[in-house]
Structure 1
Amino acid sequence: MTETLETIRLTADVVVTTTDGYVLLIKRGWDPHAGKWALPGGHVDAGETSRAAAARELAEEAGVHAALEELVQLGTFDRPDRDPRGRYVTVAYRLTVLPGTPIEPGDDAADAQWWPLAALPPLAFDHADILAAVTDG
């Protein structure tokens, strides 16, 4: 019997919420889901931990800087169909900040905004499920 190996890519996402009920979302500037809102995040680079990748992506995409120990692991999201490019597994982290924390879109983000948790736009990938893990838990 021949074993078929599947390429699995590792990503990290960050749920950044304010103490008054807002979440940081970035507008994707690239496919897949170009123009849709998503959590800040991206690929884990070679030699990098998912936590370090989460902090790096958050700084690159939204201009928010977090110490590694401030990022609390929320969970792993690995549904096989969560990304149209192939098999992606993400480790999601949570960060709580004060209202008015400045954000600045950068890197691959076309925009970055604070959204009220009670009135979110349609989200890319399975990011609604990741947010539900925070708001339901």
Structure 2
Amino acid sequence: MTETIETIRYTADVVVTTTDGYVLLIERGWDPFKGQWALPGGHVDPGETSRAAAARELAEEAGVHATSEELTQVGVFDEPNRDPRGRYVTVVYHLTVIPGTIVEAGDDATRAEWWPLGDLPQLAFDHAAILRSCVTQAVRDGE
């Protein structure tokens, strides 16, 4: 029997919402999904935790600075086909900020903007499902 070894990449994403019902999205500057909207996030670097990577990626891609302790874990998303580049497993975190928090695109994001939760564009990857899960969890937790 031949065993197939699968390469799994480790990432972290952040759902940032405001207290008045907006979510932070970035426009991707690179493929896959170049030009489409997504949650801020990216690869976990060697020696880094997913929580630290989430805080770093949020600052790099959207100019929002938060400590890793301010991020609340939402869950792990590991569907085999969630990314066209191969197998990616992401740990998702949530952060709530005040309305008017300034965002500025950087790194591989060409734009960073606040979108009303009730009027979102099509999202890259499985980010719509991630966002739904985060909102459902927040409602369940009474946020």
TM over 0.5: yes
Distance in 2 (alpha carbons) for counterparts of 1:123 and 1:75: 19
* Paired residue secondary structure (1:48): coil
- Residue by residue, what CA displacement relative to the aligned partner does 1:12-61 show, whole Å, maximum 9, x if unpaired? 00000000000000000010000000000000011100000000000000
Distance in 1 (alpha carbons) for counterparts of 2:57 and 2:68: 12
What is the TM-score with the length of structure 1 in the denominator?
0.98
Distance in 1 (alpha carbons) for counterparts of 2:25 and 2:116: 10
- Which position in structure 2 is the counterpart of 1:130? 130
- Give the total of aligned pairs: 137
Structure 2 gaps of 5+ residues are: 138-143
- Which position in structure 2 is the counterpart of 1:51? 51
Distance in 2 (alpha carbons) for counterparts of 1:29 and 1:3: 37
Counterpart amino acid of residue 36 in structure 1: Q
- Which position in structure 1 is the counterpart of 2:102? 102
- Which position in structure 1 is the counterpart of 2:141? none
* Paired residue secondary structure (1:91): strand
* Paired residue secondary structure (2:47): coil
* Paired residue secondary structure (1:47): coil
Counterpart amino acid of residue 37 in structure 2: W
- Which position in structure 2 is the counterpart of 1:18? 18
Distance in 2 (alpha carbons) for counterparts of 1:54 and 1:135: 18
- Which position in structure 2 is the counterpart of 1:42? 42
Percent of residue pairs identical:
76
What is the TM-score with the length of structure 2 in the denominator?
0.94
Distance in 2 (alpha carbons) for counterparts of 1:23 and 1:103: 11
* Paired residue secondary structure (1:115): strand
Distance in 2 (alpha carbons) for counterparts of 1:89 and 1:134: 17
Counterpart amino acid of residue 105 in structure 1: A
Taking only aligned residues, the RMSD between alpha carbons, in angstroms, comes to 0.6
Q: CA deviation at 1:116?
A: 0.2
